[in-house]
């Protein structure tokens, strides 16, 4: 990767999805601007805010799709990332003693 570019694994959220009621919503359905999550698999040397393995929020309309070894990836600039999720906490019992 060069400069401030990030390579993301878009996961399954970028395609079809289900509503909370179980209705399948196709990827072609127009619902306004919807952001999706992806996992960082590679980053250029000038990327400062994200690390490998981070999950980031991006706009699927502002991207370049790349296929490497049969796997589809998303290529974006670091400035096109809207948010970085926090890592999940260790499992806790929820009991305070």
The whole-number pLDDT of residue 88 equals 60
Q: How far apart are CA 97 and CA 87, in angstroms?
A: 25
Q: Are 40 and 51 in contact (CB under 8 A)?
A: yes
Percent of the chain with pLDDT over 90: 9
What tens digit of pLDDT does each residue of 15-37 get?
566 767 777 777 666 566 778 88
pLDDT bracket for residue 6 (50, 70, 90): very high
Write down the pTM of the prediction: 0.67
In order of their start, the domains of the chain are 3-13+32-83 (2.30.33.40)
Handedness of CA 27, 33, 37, 43 (dihedral sign): positive
pLDDT bracket for residue 87 (50, 70, 90): low
What tens digit of pLDDT does each residue of 37-82 get?
889 999 999 988 888 888 898 887 777 888 888 888 889 988 888 8
């Amino acid at each position: 990767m060069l400069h401030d570019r990030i390579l993301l694994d878009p996961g399954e959220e970028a395609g079809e999805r289900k509503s909370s009621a179980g209705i399948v919503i196709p990827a072609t359905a127009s619902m306004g601007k919807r952001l999706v999550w992806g996992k960082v698999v590679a980053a250029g040397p000038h990327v400062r805010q994200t690390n490998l393995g981070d999950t980031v929020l991006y706009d699927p309309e502002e991207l370049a799709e790349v296929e490497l070894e049969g796997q589809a990836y998303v290529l974006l600039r670091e400035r096109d990332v809207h948010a970085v999720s926090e890592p999940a906490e260790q499992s806790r019992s929820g009991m305070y003693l």
